[in-house]
Amino acid sequence: MIKHIPGHPAITVENMTGAGSLVAANYIYNNAKPDGLTIANWNSAFVLNQALGDHNVRFDARKFGWIGAPSKGVPVCLIMGFTGLKTFEDISKSENPIKIGGTAPGSHSIDLPLMLNKMLGTKFSVVSGYQGTAQIRLAMQRREVDGQCTNWDSVISTQRDLLDAKGEDKMMPFLVHSRLADAELANVPLFNAVLKDPNHLNTYKAYMAQMEYQRPLTVAPGTPKDRLGILRHAFKATLADAEFLAEAKKAKLDVTYVSGEEIEKIVNEVLSISPKIKENLQYLSQAK
């Protein structure tokens, strides 16, 4: 983004670990100065958490300055070969608890297995508290957990070797959010195909609205509109920058520009979900 901001200011990246990026989201809302000089990158799932009344969410998402998002998400759930299970059919018939590694409440790593348990009667046991996907990967390799639910782009960019492994060391996708061209997903069923009950399907769709703006960038409430406009322009230009796109391709990262204005509309829709959908998803907030 430096290339596309007037004056070409330096950008310093600081990791703010905690609660799957909720610490960062709360910080930008409550502590950062509204001057456009601090930007937060966090999990869009927390907007739904706000809608569900999660007391850990200490912000009103309508008031953020939304810069944009670099991608749309494709959640996927995967199982390790050492479990002896390969497909969703195998997993749904399993009588034994299947341990799924998770980070923090509000992330797919926890919410998706809980949703499958609630809607389809699977027997996932979520082991939470891992600091990120790298730690969950190690836990799977140490056989502390049996699988994970995460984003497909993360799997492709950081866990390719597990997909290519053989036998007990191989990691296999068993459910995916949307159809992609990747060979590993050719015969993997979609979430909306196994959630046949209309009530469950509508609830799932409401939950997945967050996938339309993955890893959004925000500034603090009250940031002057001209500064937000500069950042929005720079972000859009960056995601069309040939050098940036070459680096993203090398890292096997999918880039799909989502504007700040688009995100504002989606956020308003998420925070306006019906009482019935809130009731259907309330168990997620109760698990926090």
The beta strand positions in the chain, using DSSP E, are 40-41, 65-69, 75-80, 98-101, 124-127, 147-151, 171-176, 217-219, 258-259
Contact assessment for residue 232 and residue 225, using Cβ atoms and an 8 Å cutoff: no
pLDDT digits (tens, 9 = 90+) for 101-151: 998 777 889 999 999 999 999 999 999 999 888 999 999 999 999 999 999
Strands 124-127 and 98-101: parallel
DSSP class of residue 189 equals P
- Please determine, for residue 287, whether its predicted confidence score (pLDDT) is greater than 60: no
Question: 167: pLDDT confidence band, cut at 50, 70 and 90?
Answer: very high
Ordered structural domains, the chain, with CATH: 2-72+214-286 (3.40.190.150), 75-207 (3.40.190.10)
pLDDT digits (tens, 9 = 90+) for 10-45: 999 999 988 778 999 999 999 999 999 999 999 898
Instruction: State phi, psi for 90 to the nearest 5 degrees.
Output: -60, -45
Model pLDDT, residue 155: 93
CA angle 205, 209, 210 (to 5 degrees): 135
Tell whether the torsion through CA atoms of 179, 180, 181 and 184 is positive or negative.
negative
Model pLDDT, residue 229: 98
122 contacts: CB under 8 Å, gap ≥ 6: 91, 92, 94, 98, 113, 116
Residue 189, CB-side half-sphere exposure with 13 Å CA sphere: 14
- Please determine, for residue 220, whether its predicted confidence score (pLDDT) is greater than 90: yes
- Please determine, for residue 235, whether its predicted confidence score (pLDDT) is greater than 90: yes
Q: Stretch 50-61: mean pLDDT, rounded?
A: 94
Residues in the chain: 288
The beta strand positions in 131-234, using DSSP E, are 147-151, 171-176, 217-219
Model pLDDT, residue 238: 98
> What is the rounded CA–CA span in Å between residue 71 and residue 211?
9
**How many angstroms separate the Cα of 5 from the Cα of each of 69, 222, 231, 237?**
17, 20, 7, 10
Q: Stretch 162-175: mean pLDDT, rounded?
A: 97
> What is the rounded CA–CA span in Å between residue 288 and residue 276?
20
